[in-house]
Structure 1
Amino acid sequence: MRSLNTGSPMEGTEKSQSGRVTIYSVPGCPHCKQAKARLLELGLLLHEVDLNQHGALRPQVKQLTGRSTVPQIFFNNIHVGGNDDLQAMAPEKLEYLVRLVRQEGVPPDAPPLPEEGAENAEEAENQDGEFKCERDELADVVAQFKQSGAIGSHRKGLKVHKNSFTGAQLLGWLEENKEQDRNRALEMCKMLMDRKFFNSVQRKGEFEEGNALFRLVEHDPHSALNAREMAACQPQNAAVLSEILRNTMLELFSNYLSPDGKCVDYKAMAKSPSFEEYCELAVQLQRVDLQVLTREEKLAFFINIYNALVIHGNLRMGPPKNTWQRYRFFNYVSYLIGGEVFTLQDIENGVLRGNKKGIGQLLKPFSKGDPRLQVALPQAEPLIHFALNCGAKGCPPIKTYTPKEIDSQLHTAAEAFLENEDSCRVDVDKSEVKLSQIFKWYKGDFGDTDEKLLNWISNHMSDSPKKKDLQELLKCGRFKVSYVPYDWATNSKD
């Protein structure tokens, strides 16, 4: 399914227009949706440029606007600003700009559009990242074993483990039904375990022949959202798969975002055939190899998966509406990834924050013997806090993260977050800095004192009057830090 966000015109009710209205946006951005709705109400033809797809234009747009957020709107060569600027514009000024683009042609210094052929080139590049399922021949072996009757309830001490089997059962079945000698059957058992088809119930890392219990990954009792079905395709490249999943979910989200950008019809989305396709694709996460990921691949993979999983969780459980529901949501909503269960808390605090305690957590997410600890970053990456959510009045011009550009993308996301007054407000007269609660919750990631925190913020801001004001306060050494209440309102269409 193709998006219109490629620089092609979108029609309003009035088609007579000599000039151009350009809006730089990203899919799934409610502020972009609101701006587009307002412009179309005015009967304007829009040229929408998706900066998620045409990332090469991001530096030029930032240079022209001085901002890292989207949307950014131009009437010919006149920069209007973002959605808030458009909505608050005086009627006479807006009328002048509408008249301008209807009567005057596009000037030479109008903002850039994607070069001719760039869309096709990027599309061709993305084709390499499309999901292609080649069935794993070992999946047929597992499917046959599931029909053997060996999988059932097994007691270990006082506990009964459902959907389990012993090493002896699998080994004996392979010898009898696959006509393999013991050494060959044992080799295949180890291969099946290495390929993430099953795990040890006791979380041991190696296959054992005797009464040790095992369970197919798809039968994990945690109720991960991509369980209950076997990943039958050859294991996918984790980073590529995460990009495909994230882009698929973004397109789906955009299709069910209301025209005013204020709410999402999750109920209708959950019934969509496209969502069913997404769920089938998410199953393939079960057997990806996380151990081979580089730092950059790990960051991009888990950020993309976290953001997709949040929406998937909203679809299956409904958006959380109170403190208890939020706690349960972030500690329960999960995917099976590489043979292990990862909740939202596990991804954020266990992997991306270097196994640090999260809000309200008494213990670290991963214990010393937890195999997921091997995947965790060596230390917290503060910039992930601006990529995992967008709670301000403008979105970063990136929605899917790539290993190749992850560091620059994270810095752009931070700049976009800090541009918003809801996230960071500097009052020189009162010597006060008001910050998002994110900086309070995760202060240790940014610095253990107010001064270190503000220096970190200053170093990650784009050049702006706000940055100069903050630097002046830091230079004087007199400032007060306070925190703005976090808006937990959901965007669900009830």
Structure 2
Amino acid sequence: MKKFILSFAVLISGVCMFASCNLISSAGFNSKGLPTPDVRTADASVNIESTVKLDHSLWDELLQKHVKSNGLVDYKGFKKDRAKLDRYLEMLSSQKPTDQWSSSELLAYYINLYNAYTVDLILKNYPLKSIKDINGPWTKEFVKVGNKKLSLGAIENSILRKMNEPRIHFAINCASISCPKLMNEAFTADKIEQQLEKATREFVNSDKNDISVTSAKLSSIFDWYKGDFTENGMTLINYVNQYAKTKINKGAEISYKNYDWNLNEVK
């Protein structure tokens, strides 16, 4: 019995360690049947012939107005434009993604869905110091898609990550200082490749990482999702070096920075 209790305690401890990284529960692992095509094998011709071409211009307008170039967000300004944000959320929620959507259309949709509903969550609980002050921000199923409800954790872990595009980690924003910045433009299917590349390159070379030739202190994102960046024999150093202005030597010491969960708000 003691052995069982000890084993159970170790299991719970491991789960809690993982949850402390990304605050994920079982709610974060349910895609509700939404499509998650592997972007690595998607046929380019399919992307051109997508049955749906969504208009994200309203979100683009809001982002340009209320998000600074450094990624800090004017939540007070967003509150004043609540009606416009609600219209955009209603448009997103009215959609029913299918396998007939291109992978590019789906990626743009899911990223914007995550980011817009994260802003919505902050506004519903504003003012606050951190998204972690909210009970279950990544596990509550409050994001509507058609007749389904998902959690933010589900969108990230059971949908976007299943599409095998690790750059999504630099496109979605968790409303915190250490997160990749919220871009001040909407993601769109026709620009998704350039936007993901830009977001990744900017994040790698930002102050969220301290990179030198002989060592690197990286964002905890690279620790939490290491498996996403190191598939098919790719090392973490190899992955970062694709984007870093300063190239890290093979075998260099890698450590990780503490994560700042304070709200990414314009002061």
TM norm structure 2: 0.67
* Other-structure match for 1:401: 187
Give distance in 2, aligned partners of 1:246 and 1:405: 15
Contact 1:246 1:307 in 2 (8 A): no
The aligned runs of 1:232-311 (5 Å cut-off) are 239-241=53-55, 243-251=56-64, 253-254=66-67, 264-266=74-76, 269-270=78-79, 272=80, 274-291=81-98, 292-311=100-119
* Other-structure match for 1:388: 172
Give distance in 2, aligned partners of 1:427 and 1:327: 38
Contact 1:331 1:345 in 2 (8 A): yes
Counterpart secondary structure, 1:482: strand
Change in 2 beyond 3 A, CA 1:238/1:248: farther
The aligned runs of 1:7-46 (5 Å cut-off) are none
Counterpart secondary structure, 1:384: helix
Change in 2 beyond 3 A, CA 1:333/1:311: farther
* Other-structure match for 1:231: none
Amino acid at match of 1:240: L
Contact 1:319 1:490 in 2 (8 A): no
Instruction: Give the deviation of 1:261 after TM superposition.
Output: 8.7
The aligned runs of 1:36-75 (5 Å cut-off) are none
Give distance in 1, aligned partners of 2:66 and 2:184: 15
Contact 1:304 1:401 in 2 (8 A): yes
Aligned length: 214
* Other-structure match for 2:205: 419
Instruction: Give the deviation of 1:284 after TM superposition.
Output: 3.1
Cα shift readout 1:9-45 (whole Å, capped 9, x = no counterpart): xxxxxxxxxxxxxxxxxxxxxxxxxxxxxxxxxxxxx
The aligned runs of 1:455-474 (5 Å cut-off) are 455-461=238-244, 464=245, 466-467=246-247, 470=248, 473-474=249-250
Instruction: Give the deviation of 1:296 after TM superposition.
Output: 0.7
Instruction: Give the deviation of 1:269 after TM superposition.
Output: 4.0
Amino acid at match of 1:316: K
* Other-structure match for 1:440: 223
Change in 2 beyond 3 A, CA 1:315/1:421: closer
Contact 1:396 1:417 in 2 (8 A): no
The higher relative CO (CA closer than 8 Å, separation ≥ 6) is in 2
Amino acid at match of 2:62: M
Amino acid at match of 1:427: S
Spell out structure 1 runs of 4+ moving beyond 6 A.
260-263, 448-451
Change in 2 beyond 3 A, CA 1:334/1:253: farther
Give distance in 2, aligned partners of 1:493 and 1:322: 13
Which of 215, 233, 237 is the equivalent residue of 1:454?
237
Sequence identity of aligned pairs in percent? 26
Give distance in 1, aligned partners of 2:140 and 2:201: 31
1:410 aligns with 2:217: no
Change in 2 beyond 3 A, CA 1:393/1:288: closer
1:341 aligns with 2:149: yes
Which of 313, 316, 322 is the equivalent residue of 2:124?
316
Amino acid at match of 2:193: D
Instruction: Give the deviation of 1:488 after TM superposition.
Output: 0.9
* Other-structure match for 2:20: none
1:485 aligns with 2:258: yes
Cα shift readout 1:268-310 (whole Å, capped 9, x = no counterpart): 643x2x3123313422333323003111110111111211111
Contact 1:320 1:329 in 2 (8 A): no
Give distance in 2, aligned partners of 1:394 and 1:340: 28
Amino acid at match of 1:388: I
Larger radius of gyration: 1
Change in 2 beyond 3 A, CA 1:427/1:326: farther
Give distance in 2, aligned partners of 1:317 and 1:324: 11
Contact 2:172 2:182 in 1 (8 A): no
Give distance in 2, aligned partners of 1:408 and 1:327: 35
Give distance in 1, aligned partners of 2:75 and 2:170: 25
Coordinate RMSD, CA, aligned: 3.5
Structure 2 regions of 5+ residues with no counterpart?
1-31, 33-50
More strand by share: 1
